[in-house]
Structure 1
C-alpha cells in the first residue's frame, strides 16, 4: 500500500472541478493536498484518479503525487464548512497541492511543448477521459500552470468512461489540433507503444495501492464497483489494436 496520511486541518473547499470540488487539507506530513472524499467522488471516481495518476506518471506526464488520506470523522463533524460531509465514508484520494497554480487559458496553449500536448491527448484517449475540454469561450480543462509556467495534469475522476465516443473526444479535447500527428505516423506509434506497454506492465503494483473501500460495494467487501478492474484493464489494452491508433 502507498504511504497513508491523516488529515489535520480542513482549510477550504476548492472552486476547481465541476463534478467533484475537492477540499484543500493539511495532513500530518505538513503538506497540503487537494482531497476528494469517498462520499462524493465514490469508489469508481477515486479508483480512476489513482490509476490515472500512476499510469500518467509512467507515461511521463506531470501529474502531482498522490496518497491515500484518512480523515477523522470528528474533524468532519466539527467543521462548519458547506459540503464537508463530502469527505466522509472512508479513505480519500489526496493530490499534492501545486503552490500558486493558475488555470491554463486558451491564450497560453501555444506556449506549451508540442510533445507534451500530444502525450496528454494520447493519454486521455487511452484512459477514456473526456474531461479536458477547452475552447475560446472557456471549458473544463483540468490543466494548471505553476508560477514558472510548467504544466500540471489533474482531475481524472470521470476517466475510464466506456460511453465516451471518439466523436465527442475529437470535438472537445483541448489539444484536438494534434490529432493529425498520429494518423498514419508509424514512427510515432513505435515510439509510444513501448511506453504504454511499460506503464501497463506495472498494473499489479498499481492496483495493489487501491483501498478495498474504493473497489468493492459494501465497506470493502462484496461485488466490485463497475467499471471493475478487469474492465478497466480491457479499456487500457485497446492500444494494442489497430482501431485505437486509426481513430487518432
Structure 2
C-alpha cells in the first residue's frame, strides 16, 4: 500500500483543472503533490483517481506516483488561500508534482510514440474516461510533457462515466487518429492479455481505498455514481466483442 502522508504546507491552488482545481501541497515526506480534497472532489471521484492510477501503472503508463494525504484541519483553517476549504472533509488524493512540466499541445501530439498513443486510447476507453479531448482549437487533454519531453498521464477523477459515448470518444479524444488499429485480431488479443493482467490486481487496488471515500448514507445515494461492483463490471467489458468493435 502506498505510504500515507500528511500535509505540512498548502502552497497555492492550481490554475489547471476544470471540474476540480487541485492544490499544490508540501507533505511531510519532503515532496510536493497536487492534491484533490474530499470536500470538493467527492469520494467517488477520488476512488476513480486511485483505480485509474493503479490500473494505468499496471499497464506501464507514465502516471505520477500517488499517495493518500491527511490534511490537518488547522492547516486549512489558518490558510489565506482562496477555496482552501475544498481540501477539507477527510483523506485526500495526492499526485506527485512533475517538475518543469508543460501541457501537451496539439502540435506536439505527433511526437508521442504511436504505441503509447494507442495504449492511452485503449486505457481511456476501458475506464470510460472521456476527459482527454484535444484539437487544433484546444481542449482539456490532461496530459503533460516532463522536462525531457516525455508524456505524463494525469487526472482521472472523471473516469467511469456511464454517459460517455463512442461517438464522443471518436470525435474528441486526443489520440483518435489511432482508432481502427484494434480491429486486427492478433493486436486485439495482445491488449486483452495486458488488460486481463492489470485487472488481476483488482482486489489489491480496491483495498487501497479509504473507507471515507466509499461509504455513503443511504439517503444520499445517487444512481449516477457507480459502486465498486459496477466499476468492476465496467472493467470486465474488454472481454466482449462490442468493447473492441467501437474502437
Normalising by structure 2, we get a TM-score of 0.97
Alignment partners' CA distance in 1, 2:226 and 2:2: 22
Does the 8 A contact of 1:38 with 1:87 survive in 2?
yes
Secondary structure of the residue aligned to 1:29 is coil
Secondary structure in 1 matching 2:21? coil
- SS of the aligned residue for 2:11 comes to strand
**Does the CA contact (< 8 Å) of 1:3 and 1:67 recur in 2?**
yes
List aligned pairs for 1:37-56, cutoff 5 A: 37-56=37-56
Deviation at 1:182, TM superposition (A): 1.1
Any conservation in 2 of the 1:143–1:154 contact (CA below 8 Å)? yes
The question of 1:65 aligning with 2:65 is answered: yes
Shift of 1:188: 1.0
Unaligned segments of structure 2, at least 5 residues: none
CA distance in 1, matches of 2:221, 2:188: 34
C-alpha displacement at 1:224, in angstroms?
7.4
Greater mean alpha carbon deviation, residues 203-212 or residues 221-230: 221-230
Indicate whether 1:106 and 2:106 are aligned: yes
Q: Offset at 1:237?
A: 0.4
Structure-1 residue corresponding to 2:229: 230
Cα distance in 1 between the residues matched to 2:219 and 2:19: 27
Question: Could you give the per-residue CA deviations for residues 16-36 of structure 1, whole angstroms, max 9, x where no partner exists?
Answer: 110000000000000000000
Q: 1:27 maps to which residue?
A: 27
Give the secondary structure class of the aligned counterpart of 2:180.
Answer: helix
1:126 aligns with 2:121: no
For residues 20-67 of structure 1, give each alpha carbon's deviation from its aligned partner in whole angstroms, at most 9, with x where no partner exists.
Answer: 000000000000000000001100100000000000000110000100
Match of 2:141 in 1: 141
Counterparts of 2:83 and 2:145, CA distance in 1: 27
Following TM superposition, the consecutive aligned residue runs of length 4 or more in structure 1 with deviations greater than 4 angstroms are: 221-225
Shifted more, 120-129 versus 209-218: the winner is 209-218
Q: Check 1:224–1:214 CA distance in 2 against 1; reply closer, same or farther (3 A cut).
A: farther
Q: Give the equivalent residue in structure 2 for 1:5.
A: 5
Structure 1: runs of 5+ lacking an equivalent: none
Counterparts of 2:235 and 2:95, CA distance in 1: 23
Q: Distance in 1 between matches of 2:123 and 2:221?
A: 25
Q: Number of aligned pairs?
A: 245
Deviation at 1:222, TM superposition (A): 9.4
Indicate the SS of the match to 2:140. coil
Give the deviation of 1:2 after TM superposition. Answer: 2.9
| 2:209 is aligned with 1:244 | no
Find the counterpart in structure 1 of residue 214 from structure 2.
215
**Do structure 1's residue 90 and structure 2's residue 128 form an aligned pair?**
no
Counterpart secondary structure, 1:182: helix
CA RMSD of aligned residues (A): 1.4
Q: How far did residue 181 of structure 1 move? A: 0.8
Partners of 2:126 and 2:230 in 1: CA distance: 13
Q: Could you tell me how far apart the structure 2 residues matched to 1:224 and 1:202 are?
A: 27
